[in-house]
Amino acid sequence: MIVLGIESSCDETAAAVLSIKMDKLTILSNIVNSQVKIHKNYGGVVPEVAARQHMQNILPIIELALENASLELKDIDLIAVTLGPGLATSLMVGLETAKTLAWINNKNFISVNHLVGHIWSWLLPVKERAEKNLTEVNFPFITLLVSGGHTELILVKDFNKFELLGRTLDDAVGEAFDKVAKMLGLGYPGGPEIAREAVKGNRDAFSLPRPMLDSDDLNFSFAGLKTAVLYELKKQKISKKLIKDMAASFEKAAVDVLLRKTLKAVSNSNVKNVVVAGGVSANQYLRQEFAGVKDLNIKFPEVIYTGDNAAMIALAGYFLYNLKPGGSNNDYLGLKALPNLIIV
């Protein structure tokens, strides 16, 4: 089966073509057009600007994905697109484009929860044309989803059976990285900037709080950690050393909470297969800390698939479609983007 994936939920316009035959997955093309350079000027994503960029780019990106795969639309068996969550006007661009393409070309259509896309990103093979065996999937597993908009612990019981174990009650962890970077005068997005400074700093220079670490549940809170950094900075004179030490101490505190809550989820559920996904899972310190835990079977996506991409949407669409093959009909024409879609 040849699947075209389309993703436009935030500030990446993306299209990818996957080939899946006898449980063997090959990525034929994977195009991600990031708007980060545009939004950098505003210190964050501006929804109106993002939607306009998606409008301009979506068709050329889809054309490029098909061209790189040496295929045409007629060769596609299934179109998979992100339904939500995300920015309403950004989501609409991808969704309406996918609906139109499916309708005029009489293609099968499936809509995908963006978060489920991230859950499958660890299965994407390292590079285009490399093969991956999809029989590697063992249920259940726990996913820690960490990105600019999400911090969630999800128990994945089957291809379409998920249980939300815990989530952030305020800021997402990626958002905290971005805000702390801003306080330190570093660029946007803040995660990679913090990581770059942190490797040169002292992780124990500042003792920062680990919010909700001892709460009975599996929820997170990062607003307090961010505020603690702000108060500490008010007491200090900004210097290159301070930036490095604060970045290192913040990174340690954030990863510590993520790891310890994940371990709590592991011991509560007795599920030792863990996937960490989403933009923040690119963080090398996080990878090192998680990978260092004994008796945990931990998987990360290739770094290129940690951020938003359409290959993960195509794969999630493929799994969903195969649960009810032939289930596609014209009902999809009435679908509306769901900016607040959750995982259930």
Strands (E), 73-225: 78-84, 108-113, 131-133, 141-146, 151-158, 161-167
Q: Which of 5, 174, 201, 301 binds ligand KG4 (CB under 6 A)?
A: 174
At 130 the three-state DSSP class reads coil
List all residues 6 or more positions away from 161 whose beta carbon is below 8 Å from its beta carbon: none
> Whole-angstrom Cα distance, residue 318 to residue 321?
5
7 binds ligand KG4 (CB under 6 A): no
Establish if 177 lies at the interface with ligand KG4 (CB under 6 A): yes
Q: Considering the complex, what minimum distance in angstroms separates the CB of residue 301 from ligand KG4? A: 10
User: Choosing among Zn ion, ligand KG4, none, which partner's interface includes residue 171 (Cβ < 5 to 8 Å by kind)?
Assistant: none
308 near Zn ion, judged by CB under 5 A: yes
Q: Cβ of residue 116: shortest distance to ligand KG4, in angstroms?
A: 13
Question: How far is Cα 120 from Cα 137, in angstroms, rounded to an integer?
Answer: 10
Residue 166 binding ligand KG4, by CB under 6 A: no
CA dihedral 90, 94, 96, 100 (to 10 degrees): 160
Nearest distance in Å: CB 196, ligand KG4 = 8
Burial 239-277 (b: 16+ CB within 10 A, else e): eeebbbbbbbbbbbbbbebbbebbebbbeebebebbbbb
Site string for ligand KG4, 262-281 (x = CB under 6 A): ----------------xxx-
Name the residue nearer to ligand KG4 (CB basis): 10 or 156: 10
Cα torsion angle, 250, 254, 255, 260, sign: positive
Residue 148 in the binding site for ligand KG4 (CB under 6 A): yes
> Looking at beta carbons only, is 7 or 245 nearer to ligand KG4?
7
Residue 307 lies near ligand KG4 (rule: CB under 6 A): yes
Helix (H, G, I), strand (E, B) or coil at 17: strand
Among 5, 84, 125, 189, binds ligand KG4 (CB under 6 A): 189
The SS3 call for residue 222 is: coil
Q: What minimum distance in Å lies between the beta carbon of 150 and ligand KG4?
A: 7
Minimum distance, C-beta of residue 214 to ligand KG4, in the bound complex (Å) = 24
Query: 177 is in the binding site of which of Zn ion, ligand KG4, none (Cβ under 5 to 8 A by kind)?
Result: ligand KG4
Helices (H) then strands (E): counts for the chain: 10, 11
- Of 158-166, 173-181, 265-273, 322-330, the segment contacting ligand KG4 by CB under 6 A is 173-181
Residue 50: CB minimum distance to ligand KG4, A:
12
- At its nearest, how many Å lie between Zn ion and the CB of residue 114? 6
Cβ-in-10-Å burial (0-12, 13-18, 19+) of 207 comes to exposed
Can you read off the two tokens belonging to residue 292?
Answer: 């260092």
Number of residues that bind ligand KG4 (CB under 6 A): 19
Task: Give the residues lining the site for ligand KG4 (CB under 6 A).
Answer: 10, 147-149, 174, 177-178, 189-192, 195, 278-280, 282-283, 307-308
Task: Give the residues lining the site for Zn ion (CB under 5 A).
Answer: 147, 308
